[in-house]
Amino acid sequence: MALQDIPLWRNCPPVFRNYKCFFPPATDSYKPRVATYAHERLLSVISILPLFFESGDLMAVNFHSPEGPFDTSQNVFHLYNAYSIPSGHTRSVSPVDLFPQHDFPTLVLGDLNIHHSASDPTSLLSNHDQFISSPYFDRASALLFSLLNTPRVYTRFPFISNHRPAVLDLSFANTALLPLFFLLEPLPPTNWFGSYPPHNHSLHSAPEAPAQWP
């Protein structure tokens, strides 16, 4: 479970029963803005290594289970891409930091806080929107990451009536992970509150290797 823009108590995110929480440690420069939760049953069959960066807005989680549901390491990069202060013309997580160049199956997800025609093709986007978002999609394309969102399935529904819905929560999979991807769908409205509905990512387990006979 990946949460973003989380409430904090003494620089720590909420605690949920039967879940282990991983989050960037607070420093004098930043506080954690993202957290990843893993159920204790999942922890009993796979190993999880959290990776942190020089930012509270980005973290990665490496899953590994040679004899469990995954036959190789898999990475999840999770972010909350905040507006830069004071300009607003850049974001807190750069495209280079967000999209790594390696061969491990990798899922990138979170609130990128950008508008792009690939995820919302029918909306009228400003030059500023395209200027901010294009480097992320260009980087993803160059490293063969595929957008998992269904175009124009909104991920943010504002409370203010004069603001339009938007597709801000985005998910990308690289070519190593894409064959395992099964489904990305929003949860029913009864299961969420606020302006950002949660989305469920479903993956197939890795196919079993064929038996080797002498």
Domain match, 94 and 170 both: yes
The 8-class DSSP code of residue 206 comes to P
Domain count, the chain: 2
Please state, in angstroms and rounded to a whole number, the distance separating the CA atoms of residues 73 and 123: 38
The residue range of the domain holding 129 is: 89-104+113-204
Say if residue 119 is in the same domain as residue 58: no
Length, in residues, of the chain: 214
Question: pLDDT at position 210, please?
Answer: 40
Which helix (H) or strand (E) is 96 found in, with range?
Answer: helix 95-98
Give residue-wise pLDDT tens across range 121-133.
888 888 988 899 9
CA-to-CA dists, residue 101 to 36, 58, 95, angstroms: 22, 16, 11
Query: CA nearest 111: which of 146, 149, 138?
Result: 149
Q: Measured between alpha carbons, how far is 207 from 180 in angstroms, rounded to an integer?
A: 9
On whether both 63 and 154 belong to a single domain, the answer is no
How many angstroms separate the Cα of 173 from the Cα of each of 87, 140, 160, 181? 30, 9, 32, 8
- What is the pLDDT, as a whole number, of residue 8? 94
Q: What is the pLDDT of residues 131-151, one digit of tens each?
A: 999 999 999 999 999 998 888
Q: Pick from 6, 193, 30: which is nearest to 21 by CA?
A: 6
61/153 same-domain check:
no
> Is residue 124 located within the same domain as residue 22?
no
Q: Are residues 26 and 126 in the same domain?
A: no
Distance of alpha carbon 131 from the chain centroid:
22
For the chain, first and last CA: distance in Å?
43
Same domain, 139 and 199: yes
Q: What is the pTM of this model?
A: 0.81
Asked whether residue 96 falls in the same domain as residue 73, the answer is no
> Which residue's structure tokens are 């506080």?
31
Taking 70 as the pLDDT cut, the residues of the chain under it are: 66-72, 83-89, 157-162, 181-214
User: Domain for residue 138, yes or no?
Assistant: yes
66 and 166 fall within a common domain: no
